[in-house]
Amino acid sequence: MKTLVRILAICVIVGAVGAWVLTAPAPLEDDFAAGHTADVENGALVFAAAGCASCHTAPGAEDKQMLSGGHSFASDFGTFYAPNISPGVQGIGGWSPAEFARAVTKGVSPDGDHYYPAFPYTSYQRMTAPDVSDLYAYMQTLPVSDVPSKAHEVGFPFNIRRGLGVWKQMYMADDPVLTGDLSEQLERGRYLVEALGHCGECHTPRNALGGLDRDMWLAGAPNPSGKGEIPNITPGKLDWAESDLVYYFESGFTPDYDSVGGSMAAVVTNLSKLPESDRAAIAAYLKAVPAVP
């Protein structure tokens, strides 16, 4: 009997320690991007490619550099609000480069809390260290907003942030989706689509726990807001010529001269700021992903 109790006790302790370890936020990397001199101009391009302004400006704001936050995102788990990420006290003012890098690529706040994956760190985790460093430098140059961030409206059990540690173990895959022997252009396209552009966050369906279904990569998904469908953009459905895709990313015009709208309009505004070669790389990538009918 005594032995059984002892075994049970050990199991409980091991389990608790295991759970604590599994749910632990990633530590800071103090030597992050060591030796890299930040390039603010490249940071502006990373900022555009990563679409930061699309979510972090105030709803309806014309000024796409004032990152006061406030956009709401309805989901099955509650409503999330994009926070203020301007370089002031309400935002990321005072964050060290290492704290910023951990937030963006690991989804962990400077206080060591897990962020909800409404913030697409599952994609940004593959952002290169120089790009993160340049993005940080660029964001320091943006105007400060004093608007406080709005608290998320998330109920039990999803309000226990520690639990996100388990979610990250299950769904924060860091391997690329498109694999194989890729050309330089396709590698660039993959980086832009899978890491910075985080296209899969909306265009790929999710399971009951909010993890992306990678077998249905970019095959379209219900709009989490409940209105309409986010389209399938694999070659199984999207039959535009590669040059039409490139022109769409630049101008917002579809091949039949309808125009982009809704949430995708902000994406095109961002893509139009990138070099033509980047738009071509994204188009090439979209032609190379597995077709899902």
Partner 1 sequence: MNLFMKSTMALGLGVAVIATASIAGSHSSEKLNPAVAARQHQMQMVGYSIGILGAVAKGEMEYDAAMVSSAAKNLNALAQLDRASLWIEGTEQGATAGTRAKAEIWSDPDGFAEKFQALADASAALIDASDAAAVGAGMGDLGGSCKGCHEKYRGPKNE
Q: Which of 181, 256 has the CB closer to partner 1?
A: 256
Q: Which uninterrupted H or E stretch holds 116?
A: none
- Residue 255, sorted as left (phi over 0), alpha (psi -120 to 50) or beta, turns out to be alpha
Q: Is residue 181 a contact point for partner 1 (CB under 8 A)?
A: no
| List 108, 268, 280, 283, residue binding partner 1 (CB under 8 A) | 268
Least distance to partner 1, CB of residue 202, Å: 12
Residues 6+ apart with CB under 8 A from 83: 56, 69, 91, 149, 150
Cβ 262 to partner 1 shortest distance, Å: 6
Q: Which of 266, 287, 290, 292 binds partner 1 (CB under 8 A)?
A: 266
Q: Provide, rounded to whole angstroms, the least separation between the CB of residue 53 and partner 1.
A: 13
C-alpha to C-alpha distance for 123 and 50, rounded to whole angstroms: 10
CB of 235 to partner 1, least distance (A): 17
CB closer to partner 1, 207 vs 251: 251
Taking the complex as a whole, the smallest distance from the CB of residue 22 to partner 1 amounts, in Å, to 38
Q: Which of 108, 283 has the CB closer to partner 1?
A: 283
| DSSP H or E run through 80 | strand 78-81
* Residues in 205-264 at the binding interface with partner 1, rule: CB under 8 A: 223, 227-229, 243, 247, 250-253, 256-262
Helix crossing, 40-49 with 262-271: angle to 10°?
150
Q: What letter does residue 135 receive in the DSSP assignment?
A: H
CA–chain centroid gap for 208, Å, is: 19
Nearer to partner 1, 81 or 247 (CB): 247
| Per rule CB under 8 A, count of chain residues that contact partner 1 | 23
Residue holding tokens 């998330």?
Answer: 154
d(CA 122, CA 104): 9
Supply 202's token pair: 């909306």
Sequential DSSP letters for 142-209 = SPP--PPPPPPEE-TTTT-GGGHHHHHHHH---S-SS-SS--HHHHHHHIIIIIIS-THHHHS-B-TT
Q: Compute the least distance from the CB of residue 247 to partner 1, in Å.
A: 7
Q: Site map for partner 1, 6-45, x if CB under 8 A?
A: ----------------------------------------
- CA angle 31-176-104, nearest 5°? 40
**Shorter beta-carbon distance to partner 1: residue 101 or 268:** 268
> What x/- string results for residues 55 through 74 when contact with partner 1 is judged by CB under 8 A?
-----x--------------
Q: Smaller CB distance to partner 1: residue 175 or 229?
A: 229
Contact of 110 with 99, CB cutoff 8 Å: yes
Tell me which residues touch partner 1 (CB under 8 A).
60, 223, 227-229, 243, 247, 250-253, 256-262, 265-266, 268-269, 272
